[in-house]
């Protein structure tokens, strides 16, 4: 197993500027040799700050970005015009869910347990509202261009990554690289991680780890 471990946020790594929190985009770029590609970014947050896909956008890529915060969706439409930006959430089913909003928008979440943890560590909740959510498989069916291969799937959903991964049709939609979050993961006991076990069973190898994310590559 290749281990690309980054221990702190980096902004320049071997001459490449990273826009991610901890170099996740550079790890993904090392696994992806395509000059032009397509990404799906779930919980995309800001078009540039802490973005796992802006590095690729600057290289000429385009993609589908999903972000429930309407202010940030507007920024995507202004700053990243090649992307398709959707102002919805992603979950295990279709319908609506409460969206918990905090003074630090990067910590907004649909997950009630994560919202409670945010409050416990001193983050201020500034609002809560119902937002439409769809399964990942349905979103890809409705919005992915015909016959489009997904080179990179990036997810940062503050506690919902496992649920969202489970909502995909992995026989039909198999990204080459998947970046997702699992704060319970440890190298000492990797299979204690539900996300790592799920991805292994789906035919993905863990190729990178940062303080915030796991990076998987399709082995099929």
Is 67 domain-assigned? yes
Decide if 179 is inside a domain: yes
pTM value > 0.95: no
Secondary structure, 3-state, 135-175: CHHHHHHHHCCCCCCCCEEEECCCCCHHHHHHCCCCCCCCC
Centroid of chain to Cα 141: 18
pLDDT digit string (tens) for 50-70?
A: 999 999 999 999 999 999 999
Query: Does residue 22 form part of some domain?
Result: yes
Position 111 scores a pLDDT of 81
* CA of residue 88 relative to chain centroid, distance: 14
Q: Does residue 178 belong to any structural domain of this protein?
A: yes
**93 within domain boundaries:** no
pLDDT band at 190; cut points 50, 70, 90: low
Residue 174 included in any domain: yes
Whether residue 128 is contained in a domain is answered as: no
On whether the CB atoms of residues 110 and 80 are closer than 8 A, the answer is: no
Whether 69 contacts 105, CB under 8 Å: yes
Report pLDDT digits (tens) over 110-136: 888 888 888 888 889 898 888 899 999
User: Domain containing 30 — which CATH number?
Assistant: 3.40.50.150
- Residue 9: is its pLDDT beyond 80? no
Where does the chain have alpha helices with state H? 24-31, 54-58, 70-79, 112-120, 136-143, 161-166, 194-201
Q: Look at 199 and 35; give whichever has higher pLDDT.
A: 199
Torsion, Cα 207 4 41 103, to 10 degrees, reads 130
- Calculated CA dihedral for residues 112, 46, 51, 102, nearest 10 degrees: -30
Q: How many domains does the chain have?
A: 1
User: Which structural domain, as residue segments, surrounds residue 37?
Assistant: 4-88+136-218
């Amino acid at each position: 197993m290749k281990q690309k471990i980054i221990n702190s946020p980096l902004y320049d790594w071997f001459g490449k500027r990273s826009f991610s929190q901890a170099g996740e985009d550079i790890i993904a770029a090392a696994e992806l040799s395509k000059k032009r590609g397509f990404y799906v970014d779930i919980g995309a947050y800001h078009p540039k700050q802490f973005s796992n896909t802006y590095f690729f956008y600057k290289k000429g890529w385009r993609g589908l970005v999903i972000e429930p915060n309407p202010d940030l969706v507007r920024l995507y439409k202004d700053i990243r015009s090649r992307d398709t930006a959707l102002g919805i959430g992603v979950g295990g089913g279709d319908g609506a869910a409460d969206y918990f909003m905090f003074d630090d928008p990067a910590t907004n979440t649909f997950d009630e347990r994560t919202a409670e943890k945010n409050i416990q560590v001193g983050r201020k909740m500034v609002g809560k509202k119902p937002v439409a959510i769809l399964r990942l498989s349905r979103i890809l069916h409705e919005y992915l261009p015909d016959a489009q291969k997904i080179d990179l799937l990036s997810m940062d959903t503050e506690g919902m990554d496992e649920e969202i991964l489970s909502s995909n049709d992995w026989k039909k939609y198999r990204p080459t690289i998947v970046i997702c979050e699992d704060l319970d993961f440890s190298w000492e006991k990797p299979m204690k991680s539900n996300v790592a076990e799920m991805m292994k069973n789906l035919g993905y190898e863990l190729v990178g780890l940062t303080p915030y994310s796991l990076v998987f590559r399709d082995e099929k």
